[in-house]
């Protein structure tokens, strides 16, 4: 079979109008034509980020935007709190340490969400904390953290709340302003339905103040320079022009669909996927904090998890994700994020059933698909 | 008129097969399918860079790759020599200073190339110099520096030679290995005929050794991590997938055309453009070191340079570039780089003639086009 279906937590499939936008002849970035697009996407991003603050667009992957958050807020020797509930939480620590920042780490068991009261405790114990680094959806474990509750805790401290929303933004709810998220970081290849290559970062006034004193060395990711440029509807360096043109299309689609409807669709797809996993007799990896953008399931006893993912992809063209780092071979992950709809989930579950059956796992054929159909029928 | 013609020094026009490649459905980056492409482009880049060293691909603009050069080679307190012959030479100084690096600056009059013997003199006077930063084509002034001669000077010192070849690579000759260029930096939106969003950087063994001791803080641009990933045909973070897929098409085209033929085409287009400029009674801005990728001309007395560029673009759809920084309004620049051929130059000159005539500049209509035609006929 040579048709490809993508059910991975980034990149996610591209709507046809976005593919077509990517193919347009290039235009120059210092023209009224491009400035009009830059203005349009700057407004559209505020809608998706649910913020009135500026959202900066970087020519980088999401990790570049994470680094931008660290270097624009902090100086070497500063102290921060990092929530590590998976691989992407650990990335915050790695970046901070490379810049000489002291990290107080809240280690959360992989598969669980952080307890907001633990953040409160640590903030009280470390009153000099300048920032709290968190992850909206920890893609590596399929967990969503309760950012709203965390925002309640952090807003009463001197620290700013930084949220890695690379996975999740535009797919599940994140009210940047209402939930007191000072810095929200994202990327293009997830909920925004674009190819990878754009990073995004928003800064609240509280974060803007912190930026004034930040001494970490930086150039490409310097948001003070980006801020001056944005005020003139410009970018400091050559932007990723055609990705930004495609972003305009993505934002139009998101506005047309409506954020609330998009969130509901993701909730339903997640519910159906979880129901299917359970109907197949499989165990959810994160039953208490399961994310609405990616479902992680435990590979059953006696089944080779890496082979399962590989066979689905290389033999049947259905790409899901395996486990990362310590979870390699132990879990598999089905994403339901971005330009994915219910019948994409059905085909993914069907392919999972086929390969599990071929690998000798015992269950009633069709039971996963049926469980998902029941959810979608409601 | 609503048809657009792009004669700017980045972005440059996209060949149709590259537009089409950009529009393909996205694939996942951690698959054998993408790994095969990554392997192919890694080899193809060596051909274009004329090096046997690894060329790293970054999801960033060219400036990101410039920062990667600085932070991977140097530590705060190190001393370097920077050739400043225009805006892009100055960018090296800005990046270095932001990382606490001491810059010995060779200030070259805008419109001139650096004298390699001046680099030799400074290297002797500053034996602790760790790196010499140069620019292949200083797009801001339309000057090409003599990198071959500079390489001869630097290779006998302890310093590494770093070349910003963002403008020029794949369009004019740059023999990285044969000319002893230790680090060559480039971007996608110039000679490589791609949209912006990819940065490139090659590292010679001498540069690799320097990298071992470099202590500048870094994460996203850390090439030690990228090197480990590349050895497994992988990237440390999500790469700009569809740009890399389009890069494969660009490299195929470059190989098919042949580097030597491409260099000849650029030489001829540059010669024709310069002949046209002179035939119109205009003065070249950099007559002694004129670049083969962009021609800078002095705006004649009594003509509003910014209006000239604006009218060509907004009324007739022909986008050329004006002057930057201190040259704003004083020069205009016609690029002949990448997917540009002789009749694109003809139409650009024709549009220039039309607008100059409308603005009251006195010359014989058709004389510029004729001078260019004479060159192309040979």
Q: Is the pLDDT of residue B23 over 80?
A: yes
Q: What is the pLDDT of residues A109-133, one digit of tens each?
A: 999 999 999 999 999 999 999 999 9
- Closest residue, chain A, to B95 (C-alpha): A219
Answer yes or no: are the C-beta atoms of B139 and B167 closer than 8 Å. yes
Contact state of A189 with B222 under an 8 Å Cβ cutoff: no
Nearest to A28 among B6, B24, B237 (CB): B6
Name the residue in chain A with its Cα closest to that of B241.
Answer: A196
Rounded distance between C-alpha atoms, residue B28 and residue A312, angstroms: 14
Between the alpha carbon of residue B157 and those of residues A93, A117, B124, B174, B368, the distances in Å are 39, 59, 9, 20, 46
Given B22, B94, B196, which is nearest A238 (Cβ)? B196
Domain limits, chain B? 5-10+258-377, 16-257
Q: What is the pLDDT of residues B338-358, one digit of tens each?
A: 999 999 999 999 999 999 999
User: Closest by alpha carbon to A235, among A12, A31, A14, A4?
Assistant: A31
Mutate to test the interface with B, among A195, A239, A323, A328 (most CBs of B within 10 A): A195
Chain A: closest CA distance from residue B289 (Å): 26
Report the candidate in A186, A163, A170 with the shortest Cα–Cα distance to residue A61.
A186
- CB pair distance less than 8 Å for B196 and A100: no
pLDDT digits 0-9 by tens, A63-83: 999 999 999 999 999 999 999
Q: pTM for this structure? A: 0.97
Q: Could you tell me which CATH number the domain at A5-10+258-377 has?
A: 3.90.1150.10
- A1 pLDDT more than 80: no
Question: Is pLDDT above 90 for A361?
Answer: yes
Distance from CA of A147 to the nearest CA of B (A): 25
State the Cα–Cα distance between residues A161 and A246, nearest whole angstrom.
30
Predicted local distance difference test score (pLDDT) of residue B271? 98
Instruction: Please state the separation of Cα B140 from the chain's center in Å.
Output: 11
B61-79: average pLDDT:
98
Query: Which member of A19, A98, A237 has the closest CB to residue B23?
Result: A19
Q: How confident is the model at residue B86 (pLDDT cuts 50, 70, 90)?
A: very high
Of B222, B238, B313, which has the smallest distance from its Cβ to A189's Cβ?
Answer: B238
- pLDDT value for A2: 80
Of B235, B245, B199, the C-alpha closest to A23 is B245
The verdict on a CB contact (< 8 Å) between A238 and B64 is no
User: Do residue A219 and residue B98 have CB atoms under 8 angstroms apart?
Assistant: yes
Average pLDDT, chain A: 97
Average pLDDT, integer, range A316-331 = 96
Asked if A197 lies within 8 A of B31 by C-beta distance, the reply is no
B60 neighbourhood in chain A, CB within 8 Å? 59-60, 64, 220
Alpha helices in chain A (DSSP H): 16-22, 32-49, 62-73, 87-98, 116-125, 147-154, 205-213, 223-231, 241-257, 259-279, 305-314, 342-358, 367-377
The whole-number pLDDT of residue A260 equals 98
Contact state of B195 with A242 under an 8 Å Cβ cutoff: yes
Judge residue A8's burial from the number of C-beta atoms within 10 Å of its C-beta, 0-12 exposed, 13-18 middle, 19 or more buried: buried
Task: State whether A27 and B8 contact (CB < 8 Å).
Answer: no
B20 min Cα distance to partner chain A (Å): 6
Q: State the nearest Cα–Cα gap between B175 and chain A, in angstroms.
A: 26
For residue range B236-252, list pLDDT tens digits in order: 999 999 999 999 999 99
Judge whether residue A59 has pLDDT over 80: yes
For residues B140 and B327, the answer to whether their CB atoms sit within 8 Å is yes
Handedness of CA B214, B215, B217, B220 (dihedral sign): positive
Residues of chain A contacting residue B70, judged by C-beta atoms under 8 Å apart: 219
Mean pLDDT of B265-282: 98
Amino acid B49: pLDDT? 98
For residue A310 the two structure tokens come to: 């590989």
Residues in chain A: 378
Indicate yes or no: CB of A242 within 8 angstroms of CB of B100. no
Contact A27 B6 (CB under 8 A): yes
pLDDT range class, residue B2, cuts 50, 70, 90: confident
Q: With pLDDT > 90 as the criterion, what percentage of chain B qualifies? A: 99
Q: What is the pLDDT, as a whole number, of residue B117?
A: 98
Inter-chain CB proximity B64 and A60 less than 8 Å: yes
**Averaged over B138-143, what is the pLDDT?**
96
CB contact under 8 A, A95 and B219: yes
What is A16-257's CATH topology?
A: 3.40.640
Residue B1 pLDDT greater than 90, yes or no: no
Q: If you count residue pairs, one on A and one on B, with CB atoms under 8 Å apart, how many are there? A: 175
Residue in chain A lying closest to B310 (CA): A31
Alpha-carbon distance A308 to nearest alpha carbon in chain B (angstroms): 14
In whole angstroms, how far apart are CA A124 and each of A77, A117, A151, A207, B207?
A: 19, 11, 15, 20, 47
Does residue B219 surpass a pLDDT of 80?
yes
The residue to which tokens 């904390």 are assigned:
A129
Which residues on B lie below 8 Å from A13 (Cβ)?
Answer: 25-26
Q: Does residue B96 surpass a pLDDT of 90?
A: yes
Find the closest chain A residue to B101 by CA distance: A217
pLDDT at position B116 over 80:
yes
Contacts of B27 in chain A (CB under 8 A): 4, 6, 11
Average confidence (pLDDT) over A8-22: 97
CB < 8 Å to B22, chain A: 22-23, 242
Q: Which pLDDT score is estimated for B333? A: 98
Q: Give contacts of B100 with chain A, Cβ < 8 Å.
A: 217
Residue A45's closest CA among A343, A325, A244, A270? A244
For B309-332, what is each residue's pLDDT tens digit?
999 999 999 999 999 989 999 999
* Spatial separation of the C-alpha atoms in residues A333 and A296, rounded to whole Å: 4
What does the pLDDT read at residue A268?
A: 98
CA-to-CA dists, residue B348 to B78, B194, B321, B343, B360, angstroms? 46, 21, 12, 8, 19
């Amino acid at each position: 079979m040579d048709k490809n279906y993508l059910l991975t937590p980034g990149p996610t499939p591209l709507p046809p109008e976005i593919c077509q936008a990517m193919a347009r002849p290039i235009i120059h970035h210092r023209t009224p034509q491009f400035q009009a697009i830059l203005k349009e996407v700057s407004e559209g991003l505020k809608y998706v980020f649910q913020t009135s603050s500026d959202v900066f667009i970087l020519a980088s992957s999401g990790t570049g935007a994470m680094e931008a958050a660290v270097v624009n807020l902090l100086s070497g020797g500063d102290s921060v709190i990092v929530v590590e509930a998976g691989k992407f939480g650990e990335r915050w620590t790695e970046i901070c340490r490379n810049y000489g920042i002291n990290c107080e780490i809240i280690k959360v068991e992989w598969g669980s969400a952080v307890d907001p009261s633990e953040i409160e405790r640590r903030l009280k114990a470390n009153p000099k904390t300048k920032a709290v680094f968190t992850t909206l959806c920890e893609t590596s474990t399929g967990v969503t953290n309760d950012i709203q509750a965390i925002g309640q805790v952090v807003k009463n401290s001197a620290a700013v709340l930084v949220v890695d929303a690379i996975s999740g933004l535009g797919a599940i709810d994140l009210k940047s302003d209402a939930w007191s998220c000072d810095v929200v970081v994202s990327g293009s290849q997830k909920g925004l339905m674009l190819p990878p290559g754009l990073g995004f970062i928003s800064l609240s006034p509280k974060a803007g103040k912190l930026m004034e004193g930040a001494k970490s060395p930086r150039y490409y990711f310097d948001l003070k320079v980006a801020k001056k440029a944005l005020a003139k509807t410009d970018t400091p360096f050559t932007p990723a022009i055609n990705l930004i043109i495609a972003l305009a299309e993505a934002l139009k689609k998101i506005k047309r669909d409506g954020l609330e409807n998009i969130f509901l669709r993701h909730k339903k797809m997640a519910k159906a996927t979880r129901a299917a996993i359970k109907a197949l007799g499989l165990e959810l990896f994160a039953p208490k904090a399961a994310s609405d953008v990616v479902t992680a399931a435990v590979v059953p006893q006696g089944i080779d998890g890496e082979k399962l993912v590989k066979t689905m992809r290389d033999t049947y063209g259905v790409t899901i994700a395996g486990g990362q780092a310590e979870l390699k071979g132990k879990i598999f992950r089905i994403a339901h994020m971005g330009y994915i709809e219910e019948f994409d989930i059905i085909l993914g579950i069907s392919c999972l059933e086929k390969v599990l059956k071929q690998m000798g796992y015992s269950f009633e054929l069709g039971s996963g698909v049926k469980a998902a159909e029941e959810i979608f029928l409601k």
